[in-house]
Amino acid sequence: MTDTPASSTPPSLPREVERAVELLFDRKAQDVVALDLRKLSTATDFFLIATGTSDTHVASIADHVVTELKTQGVRPLNVEGERGGRWVLVDYFDFVVHVFHPAAREFYQLERLWGDAPLHKLEPRAA
């Protein structure tokens, strides 16, 4: 993934962001992290970054997030990359969900690009 140190204490996330994290884990997303951009960017507050194991898995994860959040009245402003499956970006304005194929995540290295942002490794909630 990246050499950026991760905080062991996740930030207090807004309800919609917490739900998106749960939905990522519902579809077995890997290496899920949150970048807290609130002090660095006026464009968005958080990036959620996750990895799927294949193009199909990446698309399935992103589609699940979009579909389930819509049932709660949370609709994306934009979705990009659905057809390619290497990197799907779902923009919810206050947060952006990035789901990557492993090779694309390594290539784009968003965690390194936003290296000044606090990075929080997220884990699924214990059942």
pLDDT band per the 50, 70, 90 thresholds, residue 10: low
How far apart CA 21 and CA 48 sit, in angstroms, is 8
* CATH class of residue range 27-121: alpha beta
Strand partners, 89: 80, 98
Confidence of residue 2 (pLDDT cuts 50, 70, 90): very low
pTM for this model (two decimals): 0.90
> Which residues, in sequence order, are CB contacts of 80 under 8 Å at separation 6+?
88, 89, 91
Assess contact for 18 and 95: CB atoms under 8 A: no
Domain boundaries along the sequence of the chain: 27-121
One-letter amino acid for residue 32 of the chain: V
- pLDDT value at position 117? 93
